[in-house]
Amino acid sequence: MSDVNLKEWSQARHLRPRASPLMRMLVVATIALIGVGVTPFFIDAYSVNVLVRSMIYASIALSVDILWGYLGVLTFGQSAFFAAGAYVTALIFTYQGFSAELAFAALVIGIAVAVAMAGLVAFLAFWHGATDLYASVITLVLPIVVTQLLFSGGTFTGSSSGLTGFETVPLSIEAWFWVVGAWLVILTSAAWLYTRSDAGQLLVAIRENEQRCQYLGLNTSNIKAVIFLICASIGAIAGWMYANYTMVVAPEIAGFVFGTELLIWVALGGRGTLFGPVIGTLIIDYASAHLQGDFPFIWKLVIGVIFVSVIVALPRGLLPVASSSLNWLRSLVIKAQPKERTPMQLRQASERSSTAANEGGGAALVVSGVEKRFGSLKVLSGIDFEATYGEIVSLVGPNGAGKTTLMTCIADGLKRSGGTISVAGVDIGHRPPNQCVRLGVGRKFQMANVFDTLTVGECLQIARARLDGLSKWHKSGICNLPQSALHIIRATGLDNDLDVPAQVLSHGKKQALELAMVLALEPKVILLDEPTAGLTKAERTLIGTILTELAKTEQLCILLVEHDLDFVREISSRVIVLHQGRIVLNGSVDEVVNSELVKSVYAGSGH
């Protein structure tokens, strides 16, 4: 498809204009603020009182939703940050008395303490190789440690009875309602903008496929840590409000049980929806306050039963169910309109000065003495070879020869057991995958490894995140790609599928998309693990042609693992044969094809 067609196609999608998401958000937020403003005049004082607390809880539930619903970090520990904000405030007011300056200081110190705690948790929980379960475990340990510390604080922290009787910010209940309500609306709007922006899609990408993000050069551990720190601050602010408003703090607010209660509210409302957890918390906490007096145990039992049912039957929570039934009702009245999405525009990225072609002399990839052991088992030993720019080197060998392991060692400096690897003249040392990408390594996995729930356009944007950054407040609708990636997108017809979720693509298109994502990194060395596996003859020829062109025009160094020897013969400039973890042959295509050794290796008797 030509650029002209592409433009026409995107214009056709522009024909029916609608309010931009930002405008709609502003309208909804304004209505919500007006609602907050007038509510205290229409409901009784007890309900106002309860709702202030419910809204404080809702703001912290929102932070749990960002972590769990978007980023995929199941956290039991938000309560600890809430307690940090609340206890710092209570301690300052108890021991220093109240003043406006001290109230402000309490807010700042509370946030600082929470951020420091969150920093420690993030250091323990988010590192290259840590599992989701481990991160959850650390967030579970945090509230337990904090609770025990509060208990052991003796009279200073009030031990099990907590602190009470301190003077706080002198606001009426209605004024607190307005302050907390406005904060909740602003916070929810900001979170909504962020999660709908390009950067917000990155959170989903990390949840869906953290490994792919790392191999796209993104330091996912850092991104998780930053979001975690922000959410800890939100928790501390909520804690500050809580201490000021209720004038009581007790160790229970730090505990694992409260941390889990937050999860229950988020799960019932609908994780990953922002509004669901906020509305869910408001309704459940408000209803609890009214029902708990009359039916204290039954009410908690009912919540427990609903919670288990929702987790089992409606994992996305109640808000999606409510909104889809609302849409269904609307569709009965109004004729359904196709869902409008901002069409993605692909643009050519400006040339970077340090592209491979400018490197001139020197090898693109130098592998020397590389070893890989799993315990006593040697998978690779004494691997030495070089590859230069513009070369297509194929790695062949029977299954288990160590081809994929070698690829992994080149793309992740932490994996090899011995030897050195340099990319474009720089030793990769013990760099994790995201830093190897910085040096110029791009890796395509054997199984197409894309972000299933994101659209094709969004996948490409994430691939460019390292070089171009991502907008934090809106969907830019623009993706800059280098010529090579654009070429693949157009040649395979993916430019018609930019708004399609990647999971519905055919196998061949998924492979092409992943290749385009790797090329979007503007790598110097690309590692392709069986790029043609499962493709049709036509698709295979297309990929082969593209790879040959890429090596020639972009001066890329391409390292290819392949079982299809015909394909290898057609495109390779050199072939390396691996057998039982060693290089047995490194030569031209003809040398390898005519080698007796290679025949015997493939026949299974070579030693």
Which of 33, 105, 141, 247 binds other proteins (CB under 8 A)? It is: 141
CA atoms of 57 and 52, how far apart (whole Å): 9
The residue among 38 and 133 lying less far from other proteins, judged by its C-beta, is: 133
CB 152, min distance to other proteins, A: 4
The residue among 108 and 305 lying less far from other proteins, judged by its C-beta, is: 305
Which element (helix H / strand E) includes 370? Answer: strand 365-374
* 321 contacts other proteins (rule: CB under 8 A): no
* 203 contacts other proteins (rule: CB under 8 A): no
* 314 contacts other proteins (rule: CB under 8 A): no
CB 259, min distance to other proteins, A: 11
CB 393, min distance to other proteins, A: 35
163: phi then psi, degrees, rounded to nearest 5:
-115, 145
Q: How many residues bind other proteins (CB under 8 A)?
A: 37
Distances from the Cα of 420 to the Cαs of 363, 397, 415, in angstroms?
14, 22, 11
* 260 contacts other proteins (rule: CB under 8 A): yes
CB 148, min distance to other proteins, A: 4
The position carrying tokens 């299974």 is 604
Strands annotated E in 458-573: 478-481, 525-529, 557-561
* 264 contacts other proteins (rule: CB under 8 A): yes
426-427, strands of its sheet edge to edge: 377-387, 365-374, 418-423, 426-427
* 119 contacts other proteins (rule: CB under 8 A): no
The residue among 309 and 368 lying less far from other proteins, judged by its C-beta, is: 309
CB 535, min distance to other proteins, A: 27
The residue among 131 and 399 lying less far from other proteins, judged by its C-beta, is: 131
CA atoms of 1 and 10, how far apart (whole Å): 13
The residue among 148 and 506 lying less far from other proteins, judged by its C-beta, is: 148
Structure tokens at 299: 């009410």
Alpha-carbon dihedral sign for residues 372, 378, 379, 381: positive
Positions in 266-285 near other proteins (CB under 8 A) = 267
CB 298, min distance to other proteins, A: 7
The residue among 102 and 311 lying less far from other proteins, judged by its C-beta, is: 311
Which of 37, 97, 170, 315 binds other proteins (CB under 8 A)? It is: 315
Task: Classify burial at 537, counting beta carbons within 10 Å of its beta carbon; exposed 0-12, middle 13-18, buried 19 or more.
Answer: exposed
CB 281, min distance to other proteins, A: 16
Which element (helix H / strand E) includes 601? Answer: helix 596-603
* 108 contacts other proteins (rule: CB under 8 A): no
* 288 contacts other proteins (rule: CB under 8 A): no
* 124 contacts other proteins (rule: CB under 8 A): yes
First to last CA, the chain: 51
- For 35, other C-beta atoms within 10 Å of its C-beta total 11
Confirm if 359 and 336 have CB atoms less than 8 A apart.
Answer: no
CB 232, min distance to other proteins, A: 17
Distances from the Cα of 235 to the Cαs of 22, 63, 96, in angstroms?
26, 7, 23
Task: Classify burial at 574, counting beta carbons within 10 Å of its beta carbon; exposed 0-12, middle 13-18, buried 19 or more.
Answer: middle
- For 370, other C-beta atoms within 10 Å of its C-beta total 23
CB 431, min distance to other proteins, A: 20
Confirm if 412 and 429 have CB atoms less than 8 A apart.
Answer: no
* 5 contacts other proteins (rule: CB under 8 A): no
CA atoms of 298 and 303, how far apart (whole Å): 9
Amino acid at 232: A
CB 111, min distance to other proteins, A: 24
CB 135, min distance to other proteins, A: 10
CA atoms of 233 and 241, how far apart (whole Å): 12
Which of 129, 369, 469, 534 binds other proteins (CB under 8 A)? It is: 129
CB 355, min distance to other proteins, A: 39
Which of 60, 71, 216, 263 binds other proteins (CB under 8 A)? It is: 263
CB 162, min distance to other proteins, A: 15
Torsion, CA 114, CA 119, CA 120, CA 123, rounded to 10: 160
* 414 contacts other proteins (rule: CB under 8 A): no
Which of 4, 38, 100, 312 binds other proteins (CB under 8 A)? It is: 312
Positions in 292-311 near other proteins (CB under 8 A) = 297-298, 300-301, 303-305, 307-308, 311
Which of 116, 257, 426, 504 binds other proteins (CB under 8 A)? It is: 257
* 545 contacts other proteins (rule: CB under 8 A): no
The residue among 131 and 350 lying less far from other proteins, judged by its C-beta, is: 131
Helix, strand, coil percentages in the chain from 3-state DSSP, rounded to 5: 60, 10, 30
Torsion, CA 43, CA 45, CA 47, CA 52, rounded to 10: 110
Positions in 359-378 near other proteins (CB under 8 A) = none
Positions in 23-42 near other proteins (CB under 8 A) = none
CB 138, min distance to other proteins, A: 6
Contacts of 77 (CB under 8 A, 6+ apart): 121, 138, 139, 140, 141, 142, 143, 259
The residue among 35 and 304 lying less far from other proteins, judged by its C-beta, is: 304
Confirm if 270 and 276 have CB atoms less than 8 A apart.
Answer: yes
Which of 151, 286, 473, 602 binds other proteins (CB under 8 A)? It is: 151
Site residues (vs other proteins, CB under 8 A): 74, 124, 129-134, 136-138, 140-141, 144-145, 148-149, 151-152, 256-257, 260, 263-264, 267, 297-298, 300-301, 303-305, 307-308, 311-312, 315
